[in-house]
Amino acid sequence: MVIEVEPDGDMERLDTLSRDLPARDSLQPYLRDEIFPLLDMARWVDLLISYLDTGHVVSFSSIARSLGEPRAARAVGELAASGALRGPTHRIIYADGRVPDRSVIELGAELELDERGGSYHISDDLTLEDIKVASPPFEQLRNIQASMDHLLVEEQGRPASLCGIDISSKDDLNVVCLSVSGLDGDDIEHHCKQGSLPMPYVSGYLFYREGPLILPALDEAVKEGMVKEDTLLVLDGNGILHPRRSGIACQVGVAVDMMTCGVAKRLQVGKVEGNERETAGHRISDVRDGDDLLGFAVRTSRSKPVYLSRGNRMTLDHALESLLPSWHHKVPLPTRSAHERSNEVRRAISESPSGDLQVPPLVLHVAVNR
């Protein structure tokens, strides 16, 4: 049976807004004030499952497909497990008919369950519902990505400084850290900010999870003069080395009209080309998807490589050239610093005797020489 869902105000608004993107210089307020407040996946799932009557069930992957992204199935499961949903979460089961342990009692009260080999299933004659949404939200997110891609500029960027960006999270506590250094990795300054991340992690949509925290922090760092026009932003994730050539480094770069590139620890798409060239201290291979050169696999010594790709106002070669002087460890120094620092600050906040540091939004500005 197919259930047709009537989109709520948020979904309709996301649909409308995704149709025409504003000009480049209005992107930041558009994202901050219009788009980001609509990114509430728990509400999307809640709307869908609110259509399930007693005894009707759907699968996690089916909900993800209805929302427009099969890969979001795990995120649906995480939302259900975390208690973020208000609707009848016990009516969400696995695609093979198995019932999650935590739902057995509640669902068992609604319909017949079979026990086989230690786990419970719905009976074989019961079919899963299929929920249809007129404007799947993940489809709109892809539309926005595509529109932002059109604003992506590839040129020979000449950065004078570097800014590593990373987020450390545990439970509901998230801290972003921007670490700015010279091209050689010296004179590091940190800017940290605490905030919430309403969207769960879904592969391919990292910007929509981390952007709402990164962009405000970046705005502050610019106003303080820490980050300037000639600063290359180094994101923890991909640039064009992405299924739709639209990774977080591309979207952040276009949003703030700055130079960006991405450094990812795992390969999301593409293949590492066989022949590896040696430079002083680095071993570099091409990463290609078909004929397209999308990035470099870079490793120091014999460790596993990380994957560099360009974002906005940057070429792959110039990104590499800009990062090599500070690239002595597995990742460039500003990226490493941002990672360490965001972790330290996140722990300091969670360990602080409740009160002082806990009040969001928290802003720490610390200058350190390392």
Binding site for DNA (CB under 7 A): 71, 166-170, 201, 203-207, 236-238, 242, 247-249, 262, 264-269, 301-302, 339, 343, 346
Taking the least distance from each CB to DNA, the nearer of 70 and 361 is: 70
**Phi and psi angles of residue 71, each rounded to the nearest 5 degrees, phi first:** -70, -5
Question: Minimal distance in Å, beta carbon 50 to DNA?
Answer: 26
Question: Minimal distance in Å, beta carbon 250 to DNA?
Answer: 8
Cis peptide before 22 (omega within 30 of 0): no
Question: Minimal distance in Å, beta carbon 166 to DNA?
Answer: 6
Taking the least distance from each CB to DNA, the nearer of 52 and 85 is: 85
- Whole-angstrom CA distances from 256 to 191, 242, 314, 358 are 17, 20, 14, 29
Taking the least distance from each CB to DNA, the nearer of 46 and 210 is: 210
Question: Minimal distance in Å, beta carbon 88 to DNA?
Answer: 26
Taking the least distance from each CB to DNA, the nearer of 143 and 343 is: 343
Percent helix, percent strand, percent coil in the chain, to nearest 5: 40, 25, 40
Taking the least distance from each CB to DNA, the nearer of 56 and 246 is: 246
Token pair for residue 198? Answer: 């309403």
By C-alpha distance, which of 141, 149, 190 is closest to 166? Answer: 190
Let me know if 267 is exposed, middle or buried by CB neighbors in 10 A (0-12, 13-18, 19+): middle
The full length of the chain comes to: 370
Looking from the CA of 51 toward its CB, the CA atoms found within 13 Å total: 20
Question: Minimal distance in Å, beta carbon 282 to DNA?
Answer: 14
